[in-house]
Structure 1
Amino acid sequence: MDRRRRGVSEWLRTRRGRLQTCSPSGWRDWNQYRSKLVAWLHASKREWPLEPDASVLYLGAAEGTTVSHVCDLCPRGRVAAIEVSPTAMAELLIVAKRYQNLLPVLTDAHFPARYQPQAEGCDFLYQDIAQRDQLAIFLRNWDFYQPRQGLLILKAPGIDTRTPGAVLDKAELELCKTFATVERSDISRWAKGHAAFWIEEPLGENGATGEN
């Protein structure tokens, strides 16, 4: 299935059943076994959700494998990439040399104010981290930045190795208390113990959406 959409087809295509993004050096495969974001695209059957000028806050950038594909697809926007590991950041800085729209920040995602200069006004919040309180970190950053949409990659074994299914169910219930739109996708085929949650429309005080 071709998941291209108007506005990004210049940078995203399907070839031989694989998604590819157009990098500064040409087209390259986007491997769902190495990137949970593209695993979510396969599992959810959604089109790529962001415009080329989108501003993204990416929590858990690691060495930059997925971040680089996001930069390919948002060439007129910016990607604030947060990573706490100095070792991973060293690799991410190498990736950043190829992308003017990539803003790497070495800091802890528990403290959203620390990267406000890079992430202010973000449209989209993406998180892929392994901390035990990963759901709380996502909600804290959403509350601070108020993006329009988000995608939470939840690693259940990082919270409880004994009952990962129950962990995912509980997380979904918690998210549904806060957001009007919560869509869960099973990506365990490509990333064991993981699920992805597409998020939109925070609820108001009386359960109504936050949209006017």
Structure 2
Amino acid sequence: MNMANIKKIHGMLATKNLSPGFKVYDEKEINGYRIWNPHRSKLAAAILKGIKEFPLKGDSKVLYLGAASGTTASHVSDIVDKGIVYCVEFSPRVFSKLIEVCKHRENMIPILGDARKPKEYASLVGKVDVIYQDVAQPEQVDIALKNAKYFLKDKGYLFLVLKARSIDVTKKPEEILKKELKKLRKKFKIIDILSLEPYDKDHFMVLARLL
């Protein structure tokens, strides 16, 4: 699978650093590439687990929901070096760290906002090719569907990190996954579903395309 600005170095995944010399989370840099830790990034874990498709291109426009302090978002920024990454984060404390990362990356736009309320940041975000969502909320699929309605281009892609324990701690993760996928299939074609173990327990990566 051809992936823009990604390669393996000494068996480790790495992205071409858009901001040479600047570290986001104490990652190593080798010959201009940042080592991408799958224990710190669910997208890296999904790649190493063999995700079937990888729709992020050099010029992709991406909406990242749940950007936190910018660890994975910074690697997405490396990948879509000629594109843009709209980074939505709800926590003001974490957002201050995200801003510092964005200062070093012209293609990262920090947005302090609630992913459950896309209307509030609709004026700041254009139509995107890809939505990447990693939020610890019970209504994860509903959040994805709302944002897709506002921002996702026709036939656009969704990376959905499904956190089973954030939805229901009383049920088995597989039961939760089945129920959530049923909701998602109303608007999306499911391309791939991956368990992220051993990197993340009770987490799944769902890749889907808008119908």
TM-score of the superposition, structure 2-length normalised? 0.87
State the distance in 1 between where 2:128 and 2:135 align: 19
Map 1:14-163; keep pairs closer than 5 Å.
14-23=8-17, 24-25=19-20, 26-46=32-52, 48-147=54-153, 148-163=156-171
Could you say which residue in structure 1 is the equivalent of 2:190?
181
Shift of 1:184: 1.0
State the distance in 2 between where 1:187 and 1:88 align: 24
Inter-CA distance 159–45: structure 2 relative to 1 (3 Å threshold): closer
Gaps of 5+ in 1: 203-212
Could you say which residue in structure 1 is the equivalent of 2:24?
none
Contact 2:122 2:150 in 1 (8 A): no
Shift of 1:47: 5.4
- 2:207 counterpart (180, 189, 198): 198
TM-score of the superposition, structure 1-length normalised? 0.87
Structure of greater relative contact order (alpha carbons < 8 Å, 6+ residues apart): 2
Could you say which residue in structure 2 is the equivalent of 1:208?
none
Aligned-CA RMSD value:
1.5
State the distance in 2 between where 1:79 and 1:66 align: 11
Could you say which residue in structure 1 is the equivalent of 2:176?
167
Gaps of 5+ in 2: 21-31
State the distance in 2 between where 1:15 and 1:185 align: 24
Shift of 1:17: 1.6
Taking only the aligned residue pairs, the percentage that are identical comes to: 35
Shift of 1:199: 0.7
Letter paired with 1:128: D
Shift of 1:172: 1.6
> Any runs of at least 4 consecutive aligned residues in structure 1 with deviations exceeding 3 A, and if so which?
44-48
Kindly provide the CA deviation profile for residues 5-39 of structure 1, in whole angstroms up to 9, marking residues without a partner as x: 4xx2xx21111221101112121111111000111
State the distance in 1 between where 2:210 and 2:53 align: 19
